[in-house]
Chain A
Amino acid sequence: MTEMLSMSNNAPLFVGMMLLKLAVVFGVTMGIVAYATWVERKVIGHMQTRLGPMRTGWHGLLQPIADGLKLFFKEDIIPTQASKVPFLLAPMMILIPALITIAVVPFGPDVTVKGFLVPLQITDLNIGVLYILAMAGLGVYGIVLAGWSSNSKYALLGGVRASAQMISYELAAGITIIAVFMLSETLSLREIVALQSGSVIDWYVFKQPLAFGLFLITGLAEINRTPFDMPEAESELVSGFCTEYSSMKYALFFMAEYANMIVIAAIAATLFLGGWSGPLPESLGVVNLLGKVFAIMFFFIWLRATLPRVRYDQLMQLGWKVLIPLALANLAVTGLVVVLQQ
């Protein structure tokens, strides 16, 4: 029986493996963030019968690097009337919750290193999903702070909208996920994946199709993507909360947006689509997870190319009058079924 590697049985190896996992997960996430921008521009371009970037490298493949370099060398402007410390803090406060959420997403079966079992997950919190919800809630502080500290009416409106949107949709998202826990009876993502690993039929999407749909919609709203991108509605708010930002701080907002997209896709894949224990054999766990993440991200991009932005009152109406009652009904029915089955 091999032991789970931990701080107490082999500290140097544990720290080493942890750093390795952190580096790999961070690198892969940032790589996906960079190329998600390229894929988004290409896919939306083709959907609008354009080509998207074509000049920088073969079919514009070097575009993310060119964009990164450009933003890096641009002048960093801080408005004179802005509140300096929150203004500097806000982009970090958006990006960091987005990145650290990925820590609880399992991306493969346990591997054996020097006689110890190493889980392919940065950390397995027994309150994993609560942590995800907490971090998702924390992300909006950055947006509100950015909007408020810019000292600009458009930025402030963007920030206020973001907070109102977050309050309306996080509730529905939370209630939606509870239905999954009623079936799994655990909050640990690792165990939720294990419960779905039997076959494709065990995926929670088949037991909770409504919850899956609701989670995708509320997820879209939480990460402020079209059709719910009210906080940065270009047509009315210039660029919303990031109106006054430039240079690398602006780039951080965009990295956070795409990182959030990856997080929502990874969580949806883990909670509803079996995570890494997918259609391919277990040894290809990473491929399974990435395939599902990419599929969901493609769906988000596809929606962006298709749907117009909803109006603010429509957004609120959808959140409070449709999604929350549906999520509550789903919760009640799931609870009833779980009780009757016992």
Chain B
Amino acid sequence: MFTAIAKGLSITFKHMLPGHSTTVQYPTVKLKPSDRFRGLHRLVPTQDREKCVACYLCPTVCPAKCITVEAAENAKGEKYPRVYSIDLLRCIFCGYCVEACPVEALEMTAEYELANYRRADFEFTKERLLR
């Protein structure tokens, strides 16, 4: 019994020595998420517009039904999303929308600080997603 207690005491003492802390002082120090981390979505832009061609594959595959797309035609006769919005309160960050996209117009960023105060702030419109 005493050897076990002594062993435990030595372990806790070793942990107390400097350099054993695993704490990250979060708001001041931030860990970099992995490259495959699925954070906030981003609509990829090209020269003058978003890459998205409003094919409706992402709202179709979305298991949480959080993506709203309304297609329209621009002056050049190209199909584009007049409305593209993601309701982050419903989103489960599964990444199926990114996988489904045929033109790689949607990707997921490392952004994870998504807390907000009002319900409306979680509705990410096309303007907010195009960054």
Contacts and interface: CB of A to CB of B under 8 A. Distances in A.
Contact of B23 (A51, A305, A307): A51
Interface of B: 5, 8-9, 11-13, 15-16, 20-23, 25
A46 B21 CA distance: 6
Interface in A35-69: 43, 46-51, 54
Contact of A48 (B8, B13, B15, B25): B15
A307 B16 contact: no
A307 B1 CA distance: 12
A47 B12 contact: yes
A306 interface: yes
Nearest to A50: B23
B5 A306 contact: yes
Question: Could you say which of A49, A303, A307 has the most chain B C-beta atoms within 10 Å of its C-beta?
Answer: A49
Nearest to B13: A302
Q: Is the interface on chain A under 10, 10 to 19, 20 to 34, or 35 or more residues?
A: 10 to 19
Nearest to B10: A306
Contacts of B9: 302-303, 306
Interface of A: 43, 46-51, 54, 302-303, 305-307
Interface of B is mostly: helix
Nearest to A48: B15
Given A51-B21, A51-B23, A54-B25, A46 B16 contact: yes
A49 B11 CA distance: 11
Nearest to B27: A55
Contacts of B20: 46, 49
A307 B15 CA distance: 15
Contact of B12 (A50, A51, A54, A306): A306
A307 B21 contact: no
Contacts of A48: 15
A303 B8 CA distance: 9
B15 A49 contact: yes
Contacts of A49: 15, 20-23
Contacts of A43: 16
Nearest to A51: B23
Contacts of B21: 46, 49-51
14 contacts: A43-B16, A46-B15, A47-B12, A47-B13, A49-B22, A49-B23, A50-B22, A51-B21, A51-B23, A302-B9, A302-B13, A305-B12, A306-B11, A306-B12
Given A51-B25, A306-B12, 12 more contacts: A46-B20, A47-B15, A49-B21, A49-B22, A49-B23, A51-B21, A54-B25, A302-B9, A302-B13, A305-B12, A306-B8, A307-B5
B27 to A, nearest CB: 10
A51 B16 CA distance: 10
